[in-house]
Amino acid sequence: MVGDVKNLAVDEREPTTIYVPASQLFRPPHSTAWVVRASSNLALGAELRRAVTAVNPDQRVLDLQSMFDVVARAVAHPAFDALLMGIFAALALALTSVGIYGVVSHSVSRRTHEIGIRMALGAKRGDVLKLVVGEGFRLILMGVGIGVIGALALTRFLSSLLYGVKPTDPLTFIAVSLILASVALAASYIPARRATKVDPMVALRYE
């Protein structure tokens, strides 16, 4: 009894397999594959070729490759998909941050007169900061909630691109939600900070 082995790809389903000694095969295999464990890859190829030649001079060693190369070749396609999706995700995050900053900044500029009145009536900078950031944070929570619901509904289309991670992994959803909320909150804080520096007298004359 041995563990499951993936022969071609990491995302393939392991077929039912029976291991048979090569000496019991009706037709001997044309080639065999050997796995050698070594502490270093330096000059290992030449040593292996000499060892095989010492046992059977007619036996040829056709291909030598490290296990790192084997694994890298097996995960090349999933790794490329992950890299591509990571790039698009980073671009989407950047565009989202710029969009939130632009919307909040435009809202602050339109409410300059209102902010001036609030400060003239005694509102402190901390109150203005909480007002602007709080409104932005409510929109952020709504956006994250809608995004999570949409992600849960569309995870089945991404299951073929995932390996070792469930489409509904709660830790992933929590981490991504926190990252998005943090970036969006930072994008809201910058114009909110600028709103606290509004001169009430200038803001009251603002049209």
pLDDT digits (tens, 9 = 90+) for 167-202: 777 888 888 888 878 877 787 777 777 777 766 666
Cα gap 195→126, rounded to integer Å: 10
Cα gap 10→90, rounded to integer Å: 26
Region 91-107 average pLDDT:
80
pLDDT digits (tens, 9 = 90+) for 27-85: 666 677 788 888 776 677 788 888 888 888 887 788 888 888 888 887 788 788 888 88
Question: Would you state the pLDDT for residue 203?
Answer: 57
On the question of pLDDT at 207 being above 80, the answer is: no
CA distances from 153 to 87, 171, 202 (A): 23, 17, 50
Model pTM score: 0.60
Asked if residue 145 lies in contact with residue 196, where contact means CB atoms within 8 angstroms, the answer is no
Average pLDDT value for the chain = 78
Question: Given phi > 0 = left and psi -120 to 50 = alpha, else beta, which region is 43?
Answer: left
Cα gap 144→139, rounded to integer Å: 9
